[in-house]
Chain A
Amino acid sequence: GNSVTQMEGPVTLSEEAFLTINCTYTATGYPSLFWYVQYPGEGLQLLLKATKADDKGSNKGFEATYRKETTSFHLEKGSVQVSDSAVYFCALSGNFGNEKLTFGTGTRLTIIP
Chain B
Amino acid sequence: EAGVAQSPRYKIIEKRQSVAFWCNPISGHATLYWYQQILGQGPKLLIQFQNNGVVDDSQLPKDRFSAERLKGVDSTLKIQPAKLEDSAVYLCASSSPGGAITGELFFGEGSRLTVL
- A and B found bound together: yes
Binding site for B on A (CB under 8 A): 4, 6, 32, 34, 41-46, 49, 51, 89, 91, 93, 97-98, 100-106
Q: Shortest Cβ distance from B111 into chain A, in angstroms?
A: 11
Q: What number of residue pairs across chains A and B have CB atoms under 8 A from each other?
A: 57
Closest Cβ neighbor of A98 among chain B residues:
B100
Cβ–Cβ contact A32 & B102, under 8 A: yes
Distance of A6 Cα from B40 Cα, bound (Å): 12
Cβ–Cβ contact B42 & A32, under 8 A: no
Cβ–Cβ contact B101 & A44, under 8 A: no
User: Can you list, as one digit per residue, whether each of B17-36 has a CB less than 8 Å from chain A (1) or not (0)?
Assistant: 00000000000000001000
Cβ–Cβ contact B40 & A105, under 8 A: yes
Q: Which residues of A contact B104 (CB under 8 A)?
A: 46, 49
Cβ–Cβ contact B102 & A49, under 8 A: yes
Cβ–Cβ contact A41 & B109, under 8 A: yes
Cβ–Cβ contact A103 & B43, under 8 A: yes
> With an 8 A cutoff between CB atoms, is B3 at the interface?
yes
Cβ–Cβ contact B41 & A43, under 8 A: no
Cβ–Cβ contact A103 & B110, under 8 A: no
Q: Which residues of A contact B3 (CB under 8 A)?
A: 43
Residue from B4, B42, B44, B55 within 8 A of A43 (CB atoms) = B4
Q: Which residues of B contact A32 (CB under 8 A)?
A: 102-103
Distance of A51 Cα from B56 Cα, bound (Å): 22
Q: Shortest Cβ distance from A25 into chain B, in angstroms?
A: 12
Q: Shortest Cβ distance from B58 into chain A, in angstroms?
A: 9
New contact pairs (13) apart from A32-B102, A105-B42, CB-CB < 8 Å: A32-B103, A43-B4, A43-B110, A46-B103, A49-B102, A89-B42, A91-B103, A97-B100, A98-B101, A100-B33, A103-B43, A103-B44, A106-B41
Given contacts A43-B4, A49-B103, contact A100 B45 (CB under 8 A): yes
Interface residues of B in 70-116 (CB under 8 A from A): 91, 93, 100-110
Q: Shortest Cβ distance from A26 into chain B, in angstroms?
A: 14
Cβ–Cβ contact B103 & A43, under 8 A: no
Cβ–Cβ contact B48 & A100, under 8 A: yes
Q: Shortest Cβ distance from A41 into chain B, in angstroms?
A: 7
Cβ–Cβ contact B42 & A44, under 8 A: no
